[in-house]
A and B are shown apart, each in its own frame.
Chain A
Amino acid sequence: MTDRPAIELARIEKVFPGRTPVRAVDGVDLAIAEREFACILGPSGCGKSTLLNLVAGFEAPTGGTLRVAGAPVTAPGPDRGVVFQEPALFPWLSVFDNVVFGPRMQGKPRAETDAAARRYLDLVGLSGFERHLPDQLSGGMKQRVGIARCLVMDPQVLLMDEPFGALDAQTRMQMQELLTHVWDTFKKTVVFITHDIDEAIFLADVVYVMTARPGRIRARIPVELPRPREIDVLTDPTFNKLRAEVLHLIREEASRARALAAGPAPR
């Protein structure tokens, strides 16, 4: 057993170059433990998606160090599964072929992969939809495919970028329950980006609240709610206490962001 964190960010900075360079995140320190379900919560435009893209390896930080399982991140790879906000499935492939895409690219043995794909499709409740095309699925079902295609690669961490943000309230709640169920079965390190406070507390072991741009980690709030969690948790007094605490932090950040936007840019 090691105490080495699964994901480790030290003084991470990302500046997007251009006529007016944008400092998206600035000096982020973050250590996410192995098998921790971490929710990163922040006002829109605070750089939380940028943070995820850095961990995924889609973009390179302009400063600081970034390690996943002790190794520096240089490029995207199957050790870090990503569930995108819009599902990003290949529309020309069936549900099944979308799920086995990763293992096929890596040249994994077919029989094993196919069995695993069926297992994960069953786990996310998509048995019987193997031959459907993405365009024939609802938004929630597409995201289930997106989750299954990550799980089938057996990644070390699962990175989720507001995956349920575009879904209607009812479907979102279903997907949250599904995700906790999946996570209880296959404990992985999860980084889940969201701006929905209830979603963050319901899902997370630890909620990290980000500041307005340039984004930093403002607070680390452990969620001591028992698992497995059901939707009743939403009315639990502990839940409400946490909710009030987080809401307060977010409000402060939101008003600070407004003040920054209204006033002169800080130099």
Chain B
Amino acid sequence: MGAGTSSTTGPGDSVQGRALWGLRAATVAQALALPLALCLLWEAAGRSGWMPEGILPPPSTVWQAWLAWAFADPGMGLNPYLGTWLPTVGYSASRVAKGFAVAIAIGVPAGILIGWSRMIARSVDPMIQSLRPIPITAWLPFSIAVFGIRDMGAVFLIAIGAFYPIVVNTTAGARDINKNLVRAARMMGASERQLLLRVVLPNALPSIFTGLRLGLGIAWTAVIVAEIVAVKSGLGYVLWDAYYVGRMDVVIADMVSIGIAGFLSDRLLLLVSNRVLHWKQFGAR
């Protein structure tokens, strides 16, 4: 009794805290073990000459390439892979942010209205559902024809890609509402507008955030596709450009950058989601 239990408060807390931290460190170590082992294998394969460097450069070479890409002095600006990493990530991230914002601005209100009104659902939903199977890659020619080789084309593709999961999940969230919550709001004198903004929308927020996370993933796919084909800057552009000039080290550094940017933006969204949905933390409704 006593020393072994962790339910006591006071001095025991710091011990428990340290134990918790230890657990987290262990979790992080566990998460990193496999990728590190693969990197080591890959490094060994590269050094032994078994894997030609021009096809798959070892992690150490990739790391050097990234350091130069990120921090080296661009000098006369003839080498595009010196000191240009941050602006490159910035171009892609800002396109994702713009396209994603457009997708939210259209997808959430549309989803709420489709979920709420059968009349709107009948007139809008069939069109959305029949356009949805068209992959964003199929929109590329259309996008270039309409917007040209400019930012707008990328933003358009991202918005299209992120729109569908957002609108579909928002619709589901707006439909899935307890009838008595609506009755309660009407009983308390809420107008239709207030009902949508103060009851249907907050009720749909958990599924809206599910849609946002799916949409953000698609947004990163879309920005790379758009930059490969339709825009002359950003991570997607560098990816394809580096491939053409045989800089596989930059290609891989670019891929890792995309992965990290996608991961971090998802974490950020999750952080926002946890704040907004703080009322969900107590579970059962």
Contacts and interface: CB of A to CB of B under 8 A. Distances in A.
Nearest to B283: A135
A105 B184 contact: no
Nearest to B183: A58
Interface string A55-91: 0101000000000000000011110111010101111
A135 B190 CA distance: 23
Interface residues of A, number: 26
Nearest to B191: A105
A78 B180 contact: no
A90 B181 contact: yes
B189 interface: yes
Interface string B166-198: 000000000000101101111111110010001
SS of A interface (majority): loop
Contacts of A58: 183, 186
Contacts of B202: 90, 92
Interface string B262-285: 000000000000000001101111
A153 B190 CA distance: 12
A138 interface: no
Contacts of A93: 279
B51 interface: no
Q: Which of A92, A133, A136 has the most CB of B within 10 A?
A: A92
A75 B186 contact: yes
Contacts of A101: 185, 188, 190, 198
A5 interface: no
Contact of B187 (A80, A86, A91, A136): A80
B189 A106 contact: yes
B282 A136 contact: yes
Contacts of A77: 186-187, 189
B188 A105 contact: yes
A93 to B, nearest CB: 8
Interface string A11-42: 00000000000000000000000000000000
B228 interface: no
Nearest to A161: B180
17 contacts: A58-B183, A77-B186, A84-B180, A88-B178, A88-B184, A91-B280, A92-B202, A92-B203, A93-B279, A101-B188, A102-B187, A102-B189, A105-B191, A105-B194, A105-B198, A133-B279, A149-B188
Interface of B: 178, 180-181, 183-191, 194, 198-199, 202-203, 205, 279-280, 282-285
Given A82-B183, A102-B187, A105-B191, 17 more contacts: A56-B187, A58-B183, A58-B186, A76-B186, A77-B186, A77-B187, A86-B180, A88-B181, A89-B184, A91-B280, A92-B205, A93-B279, A101-B185, A101-B198, A105-B189, A105-B194, A133-B279
